Amino acid sequence: MLLDSVVDIYNSLMKSDNDYLKTELLDSVVKYARIRTDWAFLSVDDKKEKDSYRTAAHNALISNIDALARNMSQAGQNTDWRKELTDDRKIIGDWACMVHAYLGISMR
């Protein structure tokens, strides 16, 4: 996934009027991206111990994406971004990490 696509999807979902769902989604983006980054520094034993936590954070991320997409659809807003994001867990995880980086860089 290219950065332009990552930012386009981010900008599309930020058009939602539901601030609560946007905040929940962004919180899960940051949480999942942090866990995934920390993964590089964990021992094999620590990875085994924390694997279910990482999976739960990934599931929460996907759930928050779906909740915002449903809410936007019910409000008559464009949800093409959800199709572009796909249902592929790896793509969604990569997108979260890139959004996390984008947010960090854009705040300088």
Looking at the predicted structure, is the pLDDT value of residue 2 above 80?
no
Least Cα distance to 7 among 108, 103, 88 occurs for 103
For the chain, what percent of residues have pLDDT higher than 90?
Answer: 93
- E strand intervals along 1-108: none
pLDDT digits (tens, 9 = 90+) for 51-97: 999 999 999 999 999 999 999 999 999 999 999 999 999 999 999 99
By CB atoms closer than 10 A (0-12, 13-18, 19+), residue 20 is exposed
- Distance, in Å, from the CA atom of 99 to the CA atom of 108, rounded to the nearest integer, reads 15
pLDDT number for residue 84: 94
Least Cα distance to 33 among 107, 101, 105, 108 occurs for 101
pLDDT digits (tens, 9 = 90+) for 65-76: 999 999 999 999
Looking at the predicted structure, is the pLDDT value of residue 108 above 90?
no
- Distance, in Å, from the CA atom of 36 to the CA atom of 21, rounded to the nearest integer, reads 22
pLDDT number for residue 25: 98
Looking at the predicted structure, is the pLDDT value of residue 35 above 90?
yes
